[in-house]
Amino acid sequence: MHRSIYLDCHATTPVDQRVLAAMLPYFTEQFGNPASVGHLYGWEAEAAVQRSREILAASIQATPEEIIFTSGATEANNLAIKGVAEANFSQGRHIVTLATEHNAVLDPARYLQSLGFEVTILPVQPDGLIDLDLLEKALRSDTILVSIMAANNEIGVLQPLEKIGAICRQHQVLFHTDAAQAIGKIPLNVEAMHLDLMSLTGHKVYAPKGIGALYVRRRNPRVQLAAQMHGGGHERGLRSGTLYPPQIVGFAKAVELAIAEMPAESDRLRGLRDRLWQTLQPLGDIHLNGHPTQRLPGNLNLSIDGINGQALLLGLQPTIALSSGSACTSTKVAPSHVLKAIGRSDPLAYASLRFGIGRFNTLEDIDRAAKATLNTVQSLRETHPRSP
């Protein structure tokens, strides 16, 4: 009996064996606390953390001092958005973001609204991309932050960070991006993209869950943040809590591998994705969600006319493990806010599939998944034919 084909790599990824091998010594032999600077065990751990900080910084063209370790992108987003708001409220109380952002950005923004901040949530175009003219018109003298994600977690759309950053820099507004889905998959350069804050996570790039980072610019301009966790003064006082060397080492190793393998892996994933899309064309009445080319190479999000979404997901079990929306909100029986934002109707939003193709997927996986999808949709259409 075959195990389900895992095509949900936007939700999480398995830990790469090479990442695990790099982590293992820090669970046992080199188990010290990086903050224990009085003996060898602490020195070993601190050195490992510093090497990891250097690797992560180099991957985005930052400096090691600008990397703050967190428990993941959700915490990094909260630290960035709330931290900027609290530290800069005397300069302004207006924040700009997008309707297609992850809830880890939208919810902190809504929280700030309850405290008296004003949040402008911009619409997106039908392909999921931001309208740069709308962004520029939304900026005001009291705007302190723009937060726009690098790669969408549902439809995979890649926003034009360099152009957004140039607009923000021209208006002297801080620019934050949630790059949870982007790190290790597309090139990121905080200088070229004029980024002031960037949220990262490990578990989307074959590192363990529970580890992430926030890039915080230290010069031109120096970003001021208010800490959201206190007690111990770790991470330049911005994020207190004992650092976890195994996770940090694993995160850095995963990013290092992904950067090295990115050109070849991107081509491979793009080929698998395009094959899947083409193989599903005989179904008819299917709609690609998001820009056709300006998207993550391993992302395929589609909607199918005349199909019950829950019945479709159930029908694909146990052959394929995948999602019909963001894994973080998949327990809610509601249409995806991302698909609604690009103009999909409720029925089409419910009848969506998000294929997240990853490092360990093969051509055989894709062909099996395509066959299962074709058979399931055809069976549902025969069982529940649409009215003429």
CA distance 60 to 55: 9
Count of H-run helices and E-run strands, the chain: 11, 12
Q: Which residues pair with 178 in a beta bridge?
A: 199
CA distance 194 to 161: 8
| Tokens of residue 336, six digits | 């995806």
C-alpha 165: how far from chain center:
18
CA distance 121 to 103: 13
| Tokens of residue 330, six digits | 């998949």
Nearest 10 degrees: Cα torsion 223, 228, 234, 236: 10
Catalytic positions:
328
CA distance 345 to 89: 38
In the numeric block, the tokens 């949040």 are attached to 119
Per DSSP (E only), the strands in the chain are 5-6, 67-70, 94-98, 118-122, 143-147, 174-178, 197-201, 212-216, 286-288, 299-304, 320-321, 352-356
Instruction: Give the DSSP letter string of 15-52.
Output: PPHHHHHHHGGGTTTT---TT-TTSHHHHHHHHHHHHH
- Cα–Cα distances (Å) from 364 to 5, 11, 275, 302, 361, in that order, read 10, 22, 11, 21, 8
- Cα–Cα distances (Å) from 150 to 102, 159, 253, 277, 295, in that order, read 11, 5, 22, 23, 10
Q: Which helix (H) or strand (E) holds 307?
A: none
CA distance 102 to 80: 14
223 φ/ψ angles, rounded to the nearest 5 degrees: -80, 130
**Encoded amino acid at 110, one letter:** R
CA distance 85 to 90: 9
